[in-house]
């Protein structure tokens, strides 16, 4: 036995449980890969062992929850459309395993690109001790990605939600990055006013879904993910507009303004940046699926 896996079942029992759970998954149109993921987290079983049926031959398998509770977890996935990441409490993003709860948005694969764009764009700044902001940090994913990719930078993670900040802080501690990141509660730049004009970069995945679209999102998102992290107001651009209008005071000359948006929004965000008058080099880039999703700008050197 292992302290994090105190429950035991026979391999045969678990194999049968898996077969039944898989049938329910296909009726509910949930991918069996999610079931394998759940079993990997709860029982440490590899996907091949499940698929090839070799689990059956193992006399004992240790689980972190009882078989009864495992059934309840899977029911929550199928009947209540609870995302698997909230059920296991874990999301994988870049090379991190992150703690998540319904207080934070589940970090999405497309958001991983923000870190690569930030790093590629930051090559012109060679000074140490740069300040970077992750505004609306949620699970802390972006802040952690920046802290790893920019090893001498100081990262400032901000969120309005105390619950989110406590998860972000926990993730930083687990990854040994807490001395590189400060966590502040507040609205966007507000807690960082002492550092006006000093930021080398701002990276944000703000809420950008138009309010009236929220109920139409897939149930996993609409029913379980925090509206605070999704709702971008009537046209979806409320927070993006706010970041355009406020960031110029916080970024140093040439400083980087970088956001994720919803498909279709980048031209409007680029217009907002142009109209604001204090940004240059506005650039739109696609995610891995080829959909334009990221908007980058530099704070003008002279304005």
Which spans of this chain sit near ligand GLN (rule: CB under 6 A)? 105, 108, 205-209, 217, 221, 230
Is 145 or 206 the residue whose CB approaches ligand GLN more closely?
A: 206
Min. distance of Cβ 231 from ligand GLN in angstroms? 8
**Strands of the 251-260 sheet, one edge to the other:** 181-185, 154-159, 131-135, 199-204, 251-260, 292-299, 279-286
Q: Which is nearer to ligand GLN, 130 or 205 (CB)?
A: 205
Which is nearer to ligand GLN, 74 or 189 (by Cβ)? 189
DSSP letters spanning the chain: -BTTB-EEE-HHHHHHHHHHHHHHHHHTT--HHHHHHHHHHHH---HHHHHHTGGGG-S-EEESS-HHHHHHHHHHHHHS---HHHHHTEEEETTEEEE--TTSPPPPGGGHHHHHHHHHHGGG---SS-EEEEES-TTSHHHHHHHHHSTT-EEEEEES-HHHHHHHHHHHHHTT-GGGEEEEESSTTGGGGGGTT-EEEEEE----B-GGGGGGS-HHHHHHS-GGGTB--TTS-HHHHHHHHHHTTTEEEEEEEEEE--TT-HHHHHHHHHHHSSEEEEEEEE-TTS-EEEEEEEE-S--
CB 161 → ligand GLN: shortest distance, Å?
14
Whether the CB-CB separation of 132 and 156 falls below 8 Å is answered with yes
Instruction: Choose between 191 and 207: whose C-beta lies nearer to ligand GLN.
Output: 207
Distance CA 176, CA 189 (A): 25
Question: At closest approach, how far in Å is the CB of 155 from ligand GLN?
Answer: 19
Cβ distance to ligand GLN smaller for residue 209 or 297: 209
Q: How far is the CB of 204 from ligand GLN (least distance, A)?
A: 9
Beta carbon nearer to ligand GLN, 122 or 205? 205
Please, what is the minimum distance in Å from the beta carbon of residue 81 to ligand GLN?
Answer: 14
| Comparison of 199 and 208: residue with beta carbon closer to ligand GLN | 208
CB of 60 to ligand GLN, least distance (A): 41
Task: State in angstroms the smallest separation of the CB of 136 from ligand GLN.
Answer: 8
Residue closer to ligand GLN (CB basis): 50 or 203: 203
Handedness of CA 240, 242, 243, 248 (dihedral sign): positive
What's the closest the beta carbon of residue 97 comes to ligand GLN, in angstroms?
A: 20
Residue 116 and residue 141 in contact, taking contact as beta carbons nearer than 8 Å: no
Beta bridge partners of 283: 296
Minimum gap (Å) between residue 207 Cβ and ligand GLN: 5
Would you say 106 or 297 has its CB closer to ligand GLN? 106
């Amino acid at each position: 036995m292992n302290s994090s896996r105190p429950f035991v079942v026979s391999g045969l029992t678990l194999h049968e449980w898996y077969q039944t759970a898989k049938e329910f998954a296909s009726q509910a149109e949930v991918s069996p890969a999610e079931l394998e993921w759940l079993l990997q987290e709860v029982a440490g079983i590899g996907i091949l062992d499940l698929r090839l049926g070799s689990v059956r031959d193992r006399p004992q398998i240790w689980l972190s929850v009882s078989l009864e509770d495992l059934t309840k977890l899977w029911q929550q996935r199928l009947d209540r459309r609870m995302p698997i990441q909230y059920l296991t409490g874990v999301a994988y993003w870049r090379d991190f395993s992150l703690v998540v709860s319904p207080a934070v948005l589940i970090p999405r694969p497309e958001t991983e690109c923000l870190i690569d764009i930030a790093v590629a764009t930051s090559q012109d700044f060679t000074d140490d001790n740069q300040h970077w902001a992750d505004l609306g940090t949620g699970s802390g994913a972006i802040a952690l990605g920046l802290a790893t990719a920019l090893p001498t930078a100081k990262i400032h993670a901000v969120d309005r939600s105390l619950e989110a900040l406590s998860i972000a802080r926990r993730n930083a501690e687990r990854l040994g990055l807490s001395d590189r990141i400060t966590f502040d509660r507040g609205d966007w730049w507000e807690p960082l006013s002492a550092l006006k004009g000093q930021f080398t970069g701002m990276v944000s995945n703000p809420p950008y879904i138009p309010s009236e679209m929220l109920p139409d999102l897939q149930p996993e998102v609409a029913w379980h993910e925090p509206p605070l992290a999704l709702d971008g107001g009537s046209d979806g651009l409320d927070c993006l507009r706010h970041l355009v209008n406020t960031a110029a005071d916080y970024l140093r000359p040439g400083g980087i303004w970088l956001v994720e948006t919803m498909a279709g929004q980048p031209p409007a965000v680029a217009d907002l940046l142009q109209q604001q008058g204090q940004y240059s080099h506005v650039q739109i880039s696609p995610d891995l699926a080829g959909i334009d999703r990221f908007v980058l700008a530099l704070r003008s050197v002279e304005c």
